[in-house]
A and B are shown apart, each in its own frame.
Chain A
């Protein structure tokens, strides 16, 4: 008969004590594994969340970037250059300048080495009564882009209005039932409607575009314009208006430069704001997750040892109870000549088997849990399994050490004496 078979027989005989020990070890192992796997799961979720947020932010930023690019192309950092001495409050209130400047200014500008502006469009704008239709309209005389001399000529960004034709704003065309191809009279002269713009929801809807020269003629302003529209400014700094003013002032002293549209800027700022907000949100998410992880780490830091110690205390109690129950048996074995170290070994072996069985039970439960998508992913490494398989029996042996030592060291005469 071997010591191991004695231990196994005793375990079979006292199943309750053994199973309570096994359960205790299994609970401790599950608890410790749970904290480790929970932290890993947390890290995976954090990675997933932040990754998704970063991807979404990047996508949104790319979209905004694209929109900005498009808006920059469409609107540029568009500026108006107004004549010297123009009251800007008047421009702001009525939308155009009452003063004029020579159309040659545009050519002067185009022939200069101006680098901040890509496209130059002269125009003459004035609010007039359309006597033939009894409407007040905004008359805008335009011509195609004036090529900037030191650069390659480019295709005009906006199509020039052919002489003898008009382009009507949406509201005018709709309310007057005018369509492309129709002939209309304007200020005593006949024009063909070349195009009707779709609705823009702005003053454009009551505007009429015509060839600049014809506009100058109709408005008695030969060779005059009241604004130069400059599109697509290439500004290195944020103070783009300052840059443009500085450069234009050197070429056309006295002229006034204002930015006509703030949409591009607003979009750019919106994009920057969105970017900052996204970064802040990402940082907040990361901080939240880090804080949550730190909390879980703190919990694991005291819970795992506590559970391990609780399990050890329980095993110590169970072993002590087992020893108490087997005092006569121990005495008998000692009387048979079984040495104290063998008695000690028997009890420690029992504890080790308890630890092993507890790990086996916990492992089985973890393996089962792996098949359930509801539960955490079990991704312990081989070395971690090995630590569990050796650590649990070792801790069980340490827990059982004192009761086992008590069993081995107690005077057998005390165990057997009854007279």
Chain B
């Protein structure tokens, strides 16, 4: 399967650190410390793999970095903006513009077509020529002939590529992926990893949570987490 190209060169290369986290801590129910004093920094062009045992706090860290969960302590900065000093709505808008998020399950809208799933990104931030861009992205990811199909008509790999197109729609500086290859066969996994690599090469940064050693090896850097802390 040919590797897809991401035909955009939109990234602001002036920021040294696209995203940085400082001393993040997150506890659940005051009993479980999911993330404990984690600090990290992702620079443009970095493709980082985050790995560790189940329950070590990888996904929680990803949520904190995306501003989807509020840390008990610590801060996250994206392109110089302190994420948690913003209101919830402004944080959502910042996320829409600067962060792409990919899940292990593609989490597509089951009632929308492939094209509409990608266009769902415009619910957060409208964009000119959205339909053309979504069509182009899907075509670049080998789904040009599946635009009107519903997610249930796609394979897991195809669904994940739709999710990838949706994540890349607004040309985010940061791509956060939570075990994106966990449900994919090797070909589709390779395709997704190649897309991440391309994104990083074009100046973005990618933080990918994974258990997969192959995926880890595709990254330029690997971070290991254990019991909520970076090892």
Binding site for B on A (CB under 8 A): 1-3, 5-6, 9-10, 12-14, 328-329, 331-342, 411-413, 416-419
Selected from A1, A10, A328, the residue in CB contact (under 8 A) with B123 is: A1
Q: What chain B residues lie within 8 Å of A9 (beta carbons)?
A: 109, 111-112, 116
Whether A419 touches B55, Cβ cut-off 8 Å, given contacts A13-B111, A328-B107, A413-B60, is yes
When A335-B101, A417-B60, A419-B54 are in contact, do A340 and B123 touch as well, CB less than 8 Å?
A: no
B residues neighboring A (CB under 8 Å) = 54-60, 63, 66, 68-70, 88-89, 92-97, 99, 101, 103-105, 107, 109-112, 116, 119-125, 130, 166, 170, 209
Residues of B within 8 A of A336 (CB): 95-96, 101, 120-121, 123-124, 166
* A413 close to B69 (CB less than 8 A): yes
- When the two chains form their complex, are residues A341 and B89 in contact, meaning their CB atoms are under 8 A apart? yes
**B-chain residues with CB within 8 Å of residue A416 when the two chains form the complex:** 59, 63, 68, 103, 107
Known: A9-B109, A416-B103. 15 other contacts (CB 8 A): A13-B111, A329-B107, A332-B103, A333-B123, A335-B101, A336-B95, A336-B120, A336-B124, A338-B92, A338-B96, A411-B68, A413-B63, A416-B63, A417-B60, A419-B209
Do A333 and B59 have beta carbons less than 8 Å apart? no
Q: Which of B54, B58, B69, B111 neighbours the largest number of chain A CB atoms within 10 Å of its CB? A: B111
A338 contacts B55, CB within 8 Å? no
Nearest CB on A from B28, distance (A)? 9
A419 touching B124 in the complex, CB below 8 Å, given contacts A336-B166, A337-B92, A339-B92: no
Q: Would A334 and B96 be within 8 Å (CB), given that A339-B124, A416-B103, A419-B58 are in contact?
A: no
State whether B88 touches A340 (Cβ < 8 A).
yes
The smallest beta-carbon distance between B3 and chain A, in angstroms, is 25
User: A6 with B92: in contact, given A335-B66, A417-B59 (CB under 8 Å)?
Assistant: no
Question: In the assembled complex, which residues on chain B have CB atoms less than 8 Å from the CB atom of A332?
Answer: 103, 107, 109
- Contact indicator B124/A6 (Cβ below 8 Å): no
Q: State whether B97 touches A337 (Cβ < 8 A).
A: yes
Query: In the complex the two chains form, what is the Cα distance from A419 to B34 in whole Å?
Result: 10
Bound complex: CA A338 to CA B57 (Å): 25
**Chain B neighbourhood of A412, CB < 8 A:** 63, 68-69
Q: Which residue of A lies closest to B87 (CB)?
A: A339
Q: How far is the CA of A68 from the CA of B205 in the complex (A)?
A: 112
Given the complex of chains A and B, what is the CA–CA distance between A333 and B89 in angstroms?
Answer: 13
Least CB distance, B122 to chain A, in whole angstroms? 5
Cα A13 to Cα B152 in complex, Å, equals 12
Closest chain A residue to B209, Cβ basis: A419
Docked-complex contact B107 and A411, CB < 8 angstroms: no
Complex contacts, A335 vs chain B, CB 8 Å: 66, 68, 95, 101, 103
Q: Which of A12, A14, A329 has the most CB of B within 10 A?
A: A329
Query: Across the interface, which residues of A come within 8 angstroms of B104, CB to CB?
Result: 418
Cα distance A329–B55 when bound, in Å?
Answer: 23
Q: How far is the CA of A402 from the CA of B92 in the complex (A)?
A: 22
In the assembled complex, 28 residue pairs joining A and B whose CB atoms fall closer than 8 Å, in A order, are: A6-B120, A9-B109, A12-B111, A13-B110, A331-B68, A332-B109, A333-B120, A333-B123, A335-B66, A335-B68, A337-B96, A337-B99, A337-B124, A337-B125, A337-B170, A338-B124, A339-B93, A341-B89, A342-B123, A412-B68, A412-B69, A416-B59, A416-B63, A417-B63, A417-B69, A418-B104, A419-B56, A419-B209
Does A1 lie within 8 Å of B122, measured CB to CB? yes
Chain A residues whose CB sits within 8 angstroms of the CB of B105 once the complex forms: 328
